[in-house]
Amino acid sequence: MYCPKQFFAQILIVVASLAILSACGAESEDEDIDDGVVTVAIVDNDFEPEELTVEVGTTVRWVNEGMMMHTVTSGPDATEDGLFDSGDMRNGDTFEYTFDEAGEFPYFCRPHPMTMRAMVIVE
Residues that bind Cu ion (CB under 5 A): 70, 109, 111-112, 116
Q: Least distance to Cu ion from the beta carbon of 109, Å?
A: 3
Nearer to Cu ion, 52 or 116 (CB): 116
Q: Least distance to Cu ion from the beta carbon of 86, Å?
A: 11
Q: Nearest-CA neighbor of 83 among 71, 94, 75, 72?
A: 75
Nearer to Cu ion, 58 or 70 (CB): 70
Could you give the count of Cα atoms lying within 13 Å of 41 in the half-sphere of its Cβ?
A: 12
The per-residue b/e assignment along 40-54, b for 16 or more CB within 10 angstroms, e otherwise, is: bebeeebbeeeebeb
Residue nearest to Cu ion (CB): 109
